[in-house]
Structure 1
Amino acid sequence: MKAVCVFCGSSVGRDPAYRDAAISAGEALARAGLSLVYGGGKVGLMGAIADAVLAAGGRAIGVIPRALVEREVAHAGLSELHVVETMHERKTKMADLSDGFIALPGGAGTLEEFFEQWTWAQLGIHGKPCGLLNVKDYFQPLIATIEKAVVEGFVAKRYADMLVVASDVDAILKRFAAYVPPARKWEAPKA
């Protein structure tokens, strides 16, 4: 594993614990020798994690649509900044550059980007791990919804189980290192 994509908020949230977790996650990625791939912004948790990676001597790679660069939210001090035309190109480029995906607290964009990667993993488009950094139990309602989807037959248990959920990024990275993807959707599990 060389690079981890982190999806997170473009705001810092109301509780300082969210920003602190982003900083800790950035430091952990740098300590592990993993590059950060993220949305390229200088604001919110995105800026906090990128700054932490860079301050710890790591690499921070941003991918940002031109429209957001023009609004002056791009981080100017990154190791690399890829400017793309659309959000779809952004997500594809981030996926191509990454060996795993972690969501920190965030809003609709964070959830949409993370769910796309989890869906791609289920379909076998990639075999990369997906994790939720569950700061202050932020993702507990989402986890309950996923569990309900399993009970109701909309998500196979093996796909719910593929999500790595922890309140500590080091625990997520340890599980990522040992990750084996489940059988793709519509493919029988191998015995």
Structure 2
Amino acid sequence: MEISKVSVFCGARLGNSDKFREDAYTLGETLANENVELIYGGGGLGLMGAVANGALDAGGDVTGIIPTVLVDKEMAHPRVKNMKIVDTMSIRKDMLIDEADAIIILPGGAGTMEEFFQVFVGGQIGHAQKPIALVNTDGYYDSLFDLFESFIENDFLERRFLDLIIKLDSIENVLDELKQFRPVAGRSREDIENGHHD
């Protein structure tokens, strides 16, 4: 599939590993070098700032989408020219998802997970299914996949939906992986009634 715009969800903090920041910066560079527009949450701090810096330093196109409350707290990236200021976090999240051809998830916290789960659940019900690459830097998301196994074991998730997620240990070849994404059939009433409760 053709990918010209990618939304990156990641932490507004740097985390405690230099590898997190290095991956974020390199991802921004990679997107710019491949002429793929970076769409992200508009922040200038943490991994968000790092991915934007990587793209900007390499001359890439960057669009930030940020709510007014964070602009007021001076968290917007000062170098991002194409900054869309919105009223709420919810509107921001919807725009980040809607405007991208694909999604890349880097390490982050609760906000990153909220964004990820909205895309993941949308894919399960067959709404706007988009490729999701989840970058598992240094095993950061291993516990998330353990949680998915618990969902499956307890019949709240069908295993086939894990095919919606491209799990990567590094950002190498991330765009190639996204381009090879194949849609998964969305959930039906029959799936649920026949014991596939997710």
TM-score normalised per structure 2: 0.91
Structure 1 residues not aligned, in runs of 5+? none
Pick from 75, 82, 85 the counterpart of residue 83 of structure 1: 85
| Partner of residue 14, structure 1 | 16
Cα distance, 1:165 vs structure 2:
0.6
| Partner of residue 53, structure 1 | 55
Distance 2:137 2:72 in 1: 32
Structure 1 residue 132 corresponds to structure 2 residue 140 = no
Distance 1:103 1:36 in 2: 13
Amino acid at match of 1:32: E
Give the alignment's Cα RMSD to 1 decimal: 1.5
8 Å CA contact 1:17, 1:135 repeated in 2? yes
Cα distance, 1:147 vs structure 2:
2.0
Distance 1:30 1:187, change over 3 A: farther
Alignment of 1:111-190 (within 5 A): 111-186=113-188
8 Å CA contact 2:163, 2:184 repeated in 1? no
Q: What is the percent sequence identity of the aligned residues?
A: 37
8 Å CA contact 1:165, 1:172 repeated in 2? no
Pick from 34, 41, 49 the counterpart of residue 43 of structure 2: 41
Moved over 3 A (4+): none
Distance 1:79 1:71 in 2: 18
8 Å CA contact 1:41, 1:75 repeated in 2? yes
Distance 1:4 1:169 in 2: 14
Amino acid at match of 2:179: A
- Map Cα deviations across residues 56-105 of structure 1 (whole Å, 9 max, x no partner): 11111110000100110001211411100011110111112101111111
Distance 2:190 2:33 in 1: 38
Distance 1:164 1:123 in 2: 18
Distance 2:30 2:170 in 1: 10
